[in-house]
Amino acid sequence: MTAPFGQRLADAVTARGPLCVGIDPHGALLERWGLPDDPEGLARFTGAVVDALAGTVAVLKPQLAFYERHGSRGLAVLEDGVARARAAGALVLLDAKRGDIGSTMDGYAGYLRPDHPMAADALTVSPYLGPGSLQPAVDAARRHGGGLFVLARTSNPDAGSLQHAVVDGRSVAQVVVDTVRAWNAADASGSFGVVIGATLPELDVDLTGLGGPVLAPGLGAQGGSVADLRRLFDRGTTVVPAVSRDVLAAGPDRAGLRAAAERWAAALAG
């Protein structure tokens, strides 16, 4: 059986540092790279990023939507990219933000199956149909050694309109964190994490005893910095900082992509 995602993530961070690089091939970026906004351009973009970074970065995070918009040919590109990235030693976090109930959620959780054509190490999920809606994904993660990152306290401007709502004395965001804490307490694998934006003005949830990692998107072009990570998170928290545009803007030159990632890795290690 595959080692639990929490263990594999800890090993990858020890060997490569904590940096997660997003793979976000939106149309404007493809154009900036001089590539057509079609499956061929998508394949050239994805190949360049994977070739440049999968051998050195701990986590690559492809955004599924940018591949889905090209239909089956786009998904075929991502299938190839995910397999190549994992073969080169990177963990792949599929940024899908899926959330549903019952057999539908079980279908989405299929990305964690080792026999899935796009088998990933971990998956982002949304809890807003209720914590119990994610149980099929939790079960799949435990069965296959995968991981989940659950949207908890995001930093988009109107996130607080839902995430600050109070339920039985706790904010919705805190309920999400507490739910993930309970999942980790049940098996101590550390495979279940939360998503908390790196650009929040303050950390308004209690992460004590979470037992799993925090994915912190928003570094670089979105305004987040290494100083923000240190301001928001205690040293005992396992933080996976995510950067996309600041690295991808260095392409299509592979050496440029690698150098940009190395600059962020050095800043995080400093």
Say whether 97 is catalytic.
Answer: yes
CA distance 16 to 13: 5
- Does the pLDDT of residue 20 top 60, yes or no? yes
CA distance 260 to 191: 28
DSSP string, 81-145: HHHHHHHTT-EEEEEEEE---HHHHHHHGGGGSTTSTT--SEEEE--TT-GGGGHHHHHHHHHHT
| Active-site hit among 16, 26, 86, 97 | 97
Q: How confident is the model at residue 172 (pLDDT cuts 50, 70, 90)?
A: very high
How does pLDDT run across 52-64, given as a tens digit for each residue? 999 999 999 999 9
Do 212 and 6 contact (CB within 8 A), yes or no? yes
How does pLDDT run across 198-251, given as a tens digit for each residue? 999 999 999 999 999 999 999 998 889 999 999 999 888 999 999 999 999 999
CA distance 77 to 47: 9
CA distance 35 to 49: 14
Long-range contacts of 167-174 (CB under 8 A, 24+ apart): 171/204, 171/205, 173/204, 173/205, 174/205, 174/206
Domain ranges for the chain: 5-269
At the topology level, CATH places domain 5-269 in: TIM Barrel (3.20.20)
Q: How confident is the model at residue 109 (pLDDT cuts 50, 70, 90)?
A: very high
